[in-house]
Structure 1
Amino acid sequence: MRLVQLTIPAGKRRTLLEALDEQGVDYVVTEETSDRDYTAVAYFPLPASAVEPVLDSIQEQGVDEDAYTVVVDAETVISRRFEALREEYENGDVESERISRQELQAEAESLTPSFDIYATMTVVSAIVATSGLLLDSAAVVVGSMVIAPLIGPALGASVGSVLDEEDLFLKSIKYQLVGVFLAILAAAVFALTVRVTNVVPPGLDISAVDEISERLAPDLLSLAVALGAGVAGIVSISTGISVALVGVMIAAALIPPAATVGIALAWGQPSAAIGSTVLVLVNVLSVNLAGLLTLWYAGYRPENLFELGPTQERVRRRVVGLVVIVLLFGVFLGGITYASYSAATFEENTREDIETLLEQPEYDGYQLLELEVVMDEDYPFLSPERVIVTIGGPPGETDPELADELHERVNRYGDDSIDVEVRYVEVAHR
């Protein structure tokens, strides 16, 4: 529910009040005594879904933006005419649940802080995320998402596009580009600092850190996260729901991958940063794509109907462009996913084959204790490079032919020659 406060310009009082009467709006009018160009102020409650059509009808009567309008939340309205309005405008579809175009634009603008605050919070968030990644602490990484101010620019670009507010669109795009650059730069500088000062253990293998490794070789599920964040963000802002938690989700799609890029660069492994860089880019684009589609589906259009055609064409071009780029990145992520699937299948098949081999009578007394597949460092498309097979056998006995047989079995599933290291462990049975 909303309470609208509308200043009535001189000469427009009767016309505007008749327009409110035609809409079935219950209102109160007070006299204006500030000696300005207004004769009165009208107050009237509206369902959230009725704000946009009612304000549009009022603007058609000649009220421009020089006469200010204030829309605030109302907790409770007791009025028969208000209930009739609610029944008329709230019919359960998407458009009836959304806030007005005017409120949406104001909300999108308010979510984007000043540049100094935005830059500062982005840098702090990236540093906290870098710390969490190097500590392998999911809790710290989540904390970095909470303070990241990314939801405003991420949603502002979509709002600016569908409402034909190019200033908001360009500002949001600039903020997003600068935010990603600052996050990567801050993460790289901070990670390099802690590395050269030995704050982290010397010789730390970043690929062995779970929180980092999962972002060095992302898969297609990452795309689903970004698209979900964009849809959830737009739905939350367009329905007036709190966007705080959705902001964390959008930050989850951007800040940790950007921090991972910085860490890989600080460790002198630019090739390892390829996957996480693609993840950052595809996440940014996916959030914008999901936002555009969701807003257009929700029925948001520019205020001036003469701009509807050009705006629709502009939105269509941007959607097509984003879809093409996201699909290209999706193919890249699909390749990483396939490489990961192939590695997992290789390990499973190798394990089953070795266990079958050791069940043969000539290897009675031997058993597979552990199978470790060591991946290469050809990020982001990792593949098996070495296999360590730990065999348990009778004390003082080793079968010289077993190692050759294991090497053959392992390479049966590999595309290239894979080194096989066989370790024997004496197993005594009592």
Structure 2
Amino acid sequence: MLHLRMIVPPDRTSAAVRLIESTVGTTHLVVLPGAARDPSGDLVLCDVAREAGDELLGGLRGLRIDQDGSIAVDTIGLSLSARAEAAEEEAPGEPADAVIWEQLAGATHEESTLSITYSAFMILATMIAACGVVLDNAILIVGAMAVGPEFGPLAGICTAVVQRAPKLAARSLFALVVGFAAAIAATTVFSLGMDALDLFSRSQLEADRPNTRFIWQPDPFSFVVALLAGVAGTLSLTSAKSGALVGVAISVTTVPAGANAAVALSYGDLSQTWGSIEQLGLNLFGIMLAGTLTLYGQKLLWRTQRGRWRREPRSEGHG
């Protein structure tokens, strides 16, 4: 269930209430006239089944409540209410299958902005991965994958393509490109410093490295894994199962490929540098392709389910 808290201009409160009452899956409607001060208006509260949330939010935005008032949405962790259970049963589909597009856009907006924190995580993750590739240490590679924040901009690009949001696409692409460029540049300098301290060496980079040589040797499995990871990562975002993102992060060779490119570049090994860049590009493209197709598939599936449900007679007793 989702909890909506709205500040509604008084001249649109009746329309908002009618919309809420006519939306299947809503309950616990509360209207407090004149309770809001900034902006001034009526305070309207309600709970809605996740499956009906996107439709209700679209209707509320159609009333321009988001422009002249406010709409806040929270996920309810626990609701002890027979009426809430009935509302969820009345709503079409399953909660895990529903996509709240406004919520997804908001989440990807925050995660796809080039910030100091985002850049710091990207640089630190790449430096950790650099230690992993030189030492041929798989544990460090996995740790770097988990630290890397690159899935946020990737999800932002996928969302922007499906929602036709060019500003989100540009911001996400900028964060992705600049983030990796800064991380590779910083890690190249880091590698030179580690070499000066005799902690890195060219012989370590050019050794057999059975645990990490896959990083700069892309093959068809690299693309297949990227596709699967893109589907899993997108599903984890749209179904609010964020725990799955950790598994996605440690299954694709993005940050480690950038790290290997940086270390190889510091030693002038253009073969490994180019191979790593190919691996990086292959993984990024695979994730974006799979993520975009997954979102399109979810959108089509949910539209089909909703259309089928609307053609069926509704159960009595909603209100």
In which range does the TM-score fall when normalised by the shorter chain? 0.7 to 0.9
Are residues 36 and 216 of structure 1, via their aligned partners in 2, closer, same or farther at CA, if it must alter by over 3 Å? closer
**Whole-angstrom CA distance in 2 between matches of 1:202 and 1:152:** 34
The one-letter amino acid paired with 1:72 is: D
Count of aligned positions:
298
Paired position in structure 1 for 2:286: 286
| Partner SS state of residue 77, structure 1 | coil
**In structure 1, C-alpha distance between the alignment counterparts of 2:218 and 2:79, rounded to whole Å:** 50
Larger radius of gyration: 1
Q: Is the 8 A contact 2:36 2:43 kept in 1?
A: no
The separation in 1 between residues aligned to 2:39 and 2:266, in whole angstroms, is 62
Name the residue aligned to 2:20: 20
Normalised by the length of structure 1, the TM-score is 0.64
What is the alpha-carbon distance in structure 2 between the residues aligned to residue 106 and residue 118 of structure 1?
17
What's the offset of the Cα at 1:201? 5.2
Maintained 8 Å contact 2:30/2:44: yes
Identify which range, 95-104 or 227-236, moves more after superposition: 95-104
* Counterpart residue number, 2:41: 39
Q: Are the counterparts in 1 of residues 96 and 239 from structure 2 also a CA contact under 8 Å?
A: no
In structure 2, what is the equivalent of residue 194 of structure 1? 194
Q: Give me the whole-angstrom Cα distance separating, in 2, the residues matched to 1:35 and 1:115.
A: 33
Q: Show the counterpart of 2:267.
A: 267
Give the stretch that moved more between structures: 33-42 or 263-272: 33-42
Deviations 1:165-212 (A, max 9, x none): 221110100111112212322332222332344223574452422244
Q: RMSD value over aligned CA atoms?
A: 2.4
Q: 1:158 to 1:194 in 2, by over 3 A?
A: same
Q: Which residue of 2 aligns with 1:216?
A: 216
1:67 aligns with 2:75: no
SS at match of 2:299: coil
Report the counterpart of residue 116 of structure 2 in structure 1: 116
Deviations 1:244-298 (A, max 9, x none): 4145236x42011111112222222202322221111111111111111111111
Deviation at 1:96, TM superposition (A): 6.4
Q: Matches of 1:18 and 1:140 in 2, distance apart?
A: 56
Shift of 1:81: 4.3
Contact 1:16 1:58 in 2 (8 A): yes
Q: Would the aligned equivalents of 1:132 and 1:139 in 2 still touch at CA under 8 Å? A: yes
CA contact (8 A) 1:163 1:300 kept: no
1:126 Cα shift?
0.9
SS at match of 1:268: coil
SS in 2 for 1:65: helix
The question of whether the paired residues in 2 share the 8 Å contact of 1:7 and 1:69 is answered with: yes
CA distance in 2, matches of 1:35, 1:122: 42
Q: Quick one: structure 1 residues 36 and 113, their matched pair in 2 at CA, closer, same or farther if it must change by over 3 Å?
A: closer
Q: 1:35 to 1:283 in 2, by over 3 A?
A: closer
Residue 4 of structure 1 is matched in structure 2 by: 4
Q: Which residue identity is paired with 1:112?
A: S
State the match for 1:159 in structure 2: 159
CA-to-aligned-CA distance 1:73-124 (integer Å, 9 cap, x gap) = 11233445433432233424xx862231111111112323552122222111
Distance 1:235 1:33 in 2: 39
Which residue type is aligned with residue 2 of structure 1?
L
Q: Which of 52, 58, 62 pairs up with 1:50?
A: 52
How do 1:228-307 and structure 2 match up within 5 A?
228-243=228-243, 244-246=245-247, 248-249=249-250, 252-299=252-299
Task: Check conservation: 1:212, 1:260, Cα contact below 8 A.
Answer: no
Corresponding residue for residue 313 of structure 2: none
Answer whether contact 2:191 2:200 (CA < 8 A) is retained. no
- Give the Cα–Cα distance (whole angstroms) in 1 for the partners of residues 64 and 120 of structure 2: 44
Once residues 258 and 36 of structure 2 are traced to their aligned partners in structure 1, the CA distance between those partners, rounded to angstroms, is 53
Report the CA distance shift for 1:62/1:122 in structure 2 as closer, same or farther (over 3 A). closer
Q: Do 2:232 and 2:248's aligned partners in 1 also have CA atoms closer than 8 Å?
A: no
Which residue of structure 1 lines up, in the alignment, with residue 103 of structure 2?
103
What one-letter code is carried by the residue in structure 1 that aligns with 2:250?
Answer: M
CA separation in 2, counterparts of 1:96 and 1:139?
Answer: 33
Secondary structure of the corresponding residue to residue 39 of structure 1: strand
Alignment of structure 1 residues 131-150 onto 2, 5 Å: 131-150=131-150
Instruction: Name the CA distance, whole Å, in 1 between partners of 2:36 and 2:162.
Output: 37
Offset of 1:44 from its aligned partner?
0.9
SS in 2 for 1:11: helix
CA 1:154–1:35: 2 relative to 1, 3 Å: closer
- Spell out the pairing of 1:269-348 with structure 2 (5 A cutoff): 269-299=269-299
- Uncovered stretches (5+) of structure 2, i.e. residues with no partner: 302-319
